[in-house]
Structure 1
Amino acid sequence: MTVKIGIASNHLIHPNPRFDTNYVDYVQIGYVDGLRQSGAQPFILPLGLPDEAAAYIDAVDGLLLTGGQGVTPVVYGDEPIQQVAETDIYRDQFEIALVKAAVAAGKPILGICRGEQIINVALNGTLYQDIYVQAGVNGKHNQAPTSWEIPTQHVTTTAGSWLNTLFGERFLVNTFHHQAIHELGDNLTAVAKSDDGIVEAIESADKRIFGVQFHPEMMFETHPEFLKIFQHLIDTVNETV
């Protein structure tokens, strides 16, 4: 069986030099190639209305949620602080609906960076809007201008977790974020943290939902071991059908 994975797309919301006001939905190629090289067939899900989410989930075997803008604080009950950058509530609402539809259908979900955060919010968790202001973080969680494929920060995993099984207790990752998980959502556990205490990976009690705060789609071309994260999604699909 060829595993079909839906990738929730992002969309342009401002004019830019390449497209002007010809707005497009898009997915970075790393997510697509990561799934392809792991044996899955990727399907890009254009941003839609929340009530369309169940139909999209019905058409695929699993869901991949990608990086992008910060999550709108009002969707998890907070007012925005000054450090919040661009948000997109239309994307937030649609992806929250996708998560809930996938959970209802028993289909596996992988979240990457923002994707991990939106899973947490969809399952009634909260976020730090800015880890430097609200969590007192001293570490550097946005490695720019260092090239994105270079791992720059250690994470430590929880014994027996999915990430521990794939990579061991401690390994290097890249990092590009200023928001992160604060209070964990329903039936979610933190299974990896950075040395300054930021949640770097999650897992659900039923093992069908998992996510990472770092970006394997940026690293696997030079560090092929990070394909194992995409492969874990496919393996989980195969285990649940």
Structure 2
Amino acid sequence: MSRRPLRIGLSARIYHPQAGATALLSKSLHYLEQSVAHWVMARDVMVFMIPAVSGDGIVNRSSIRLSDYAEYLDGLLLQGGADVSPQSYGEEALHPDWGGDIVRDAYEMELLHEFIEAGKAVLGICRGAQVINVARGGTLYQDIATQIEAAGAHVHDDYDRHSHAIAWEEDAGLARLYPGASGGKVISIHHQSIKALGRGLTVEARGASDGVIEAVRLQGKPYVLGLQWHPEFHPPGSPDLLDSTPILDEFLNAARGHRW
């Protein structure tokens, strides 16, 4: 008997209307960067974007809650986007541009909580890794360039073509996915990064030149992995970049394990 495709939930990026905006841009918009959906859909997977309920929405409330998505879906992917608000980890923004999106923080942290409670697999990418850390009580560097001495370049005008090397931590789960390799080059675009680790998290990878945390994993069950880099930006078969396939397969196998 054939198995149904996996159902993976994808958190929404949120566009908040700006003062003076009109027409569609006067509304709150939920969207995704299609590359992350297409990366997951490289396997036998259906992707469902999970909507948030923001303050300006007009909703006839039903009995459906975020916990019902966690029950129905097999796993959750927290995608990248805006900064995590320093208020979400008990700090004030050190610069007006670093205020982040506290509305999205609350939505994604609730999603994360519900999927963990349901025992479902979670993968966080870029901002998603930071959300996992903050939701577990950790903190962030608000700006790598000004708060980490001798930090390498983690943002660049080349955006999804800018890469740098990472190195696995000893005995890390990621190291077991890549036997014989000490790390690789990744597309990593972020000006914030993990500072104090959240409860139950261990470091899986760091920047090879500066030690900036690039991956974390929750110990025990369920499967929760946070990647500071963007595996969806790695072209298949690229000789220069880390092959993302083992990570995708590990996540999807973890999601599948809760059904069979």
**TM-score of the aligned structures, taking structure 2 as reference length:** 0.84
The separation in 1 between residues aligned to 2:17 and 2:236, in whole angstroms, is 30
Q: The residue matched to 1:139 in structure 2 has which SS?
A: coil
Letter in 2 for 1:3: L
Kindly report the root-mean-square deviation, in angstroms, between the aligned alpha carbons of the 2 structures.
Answer: 2.3
Instruction: Select which of 210, 233, 237 maps to 1:196.
Output: 210
> How many angstroms does 1:123 deviate by?
0.9
CA contact (8 A) 1:159 1:169 kept: no
The separation in 2 between residues aligned to 1:215 and 1:162, in whole angstroms, is 18
Matched, 1:56 2:69: yes
1:27-61 CA deviation, whole Å, 9 max, x = no partner?
A: 11111111110222111111236x93212212211
In the other structure, the counterpart of 2:249 is 231
In the other structure, the counterpart of 1:77 is 90
Q: The residue matched to 1:225 in structure 2 has which SS?
A: coil
Q: The residue matched to 2:81 in structure 1 has which SS?
A: coil
**TM-score of the aligned structures, taking structure 1 as reference length:** 0.90
Moved over 6 A (4+): none
In the other structure, the counterpart of 1:9 is 12
The separation in 1 between residues aligned to 2:249 and 2:235, in whole angstroms, is 12
Stretch of structure 1 that moved more, 29-38 or 129-138: 129-138
1:65-123 CA deviation, whole Å, 9 max, x = no partner?
A: 01001001111111111164352111100101111111111111100000000011111
In the other structure, the counterpart of 1:160 is 171
Matched, 1:27 2:32: yes
Letter in 2 for 1:202: V
Q: How does 1:116-127 map to 2 (within 5 A)?
A: 116-127=129-140
1:168-218 CA deviation, whole Å, 9 max, x = no partner?
A: 312001121111101111110011000201100111111611011011112
Letter in 2 for 1:29: Q
The separation in 2 between residues aligned to 1:65 and 1:117, in whole angstroms, is 10
Stretch of structure 1 that moved more, 92-101 or 212-221: 212-221
Identity across the alignment (%): 30
> How many angstroms does 1:235 deviate by?
1.0
CA contact (8 A) 2:93 2:99 kept: no
CA contact (8 A) 2:98 2:142 kept: no
Instruction: Select which of 215, 218, 232 maps to 2:233.
Output: 218
> Number of residue pairs matched?
238
In the other structure, the counterpart of 1:41 is 46
The separation in 2 between residues aligned to 1:165 and 1:19, in whole angstroms, is 47
CA contact (8 A) 2:74 2:256 kept: no
The separation in 2 between residues aligned to 1:137 and 1:55, in whole angstroms, is 45
Q: Which structure is larger by alpha-carbon Rg, 1 or 2? A: 2
The separation in 2 between residues aligned to 1:123 and 1:81, in whole angstroms, is 22
Where structure 2 has 5 or more consecutive residues not aligned to the other structure, the ranges are 55-63
CA contact (8 A) 1:71 1:87 kept: yes
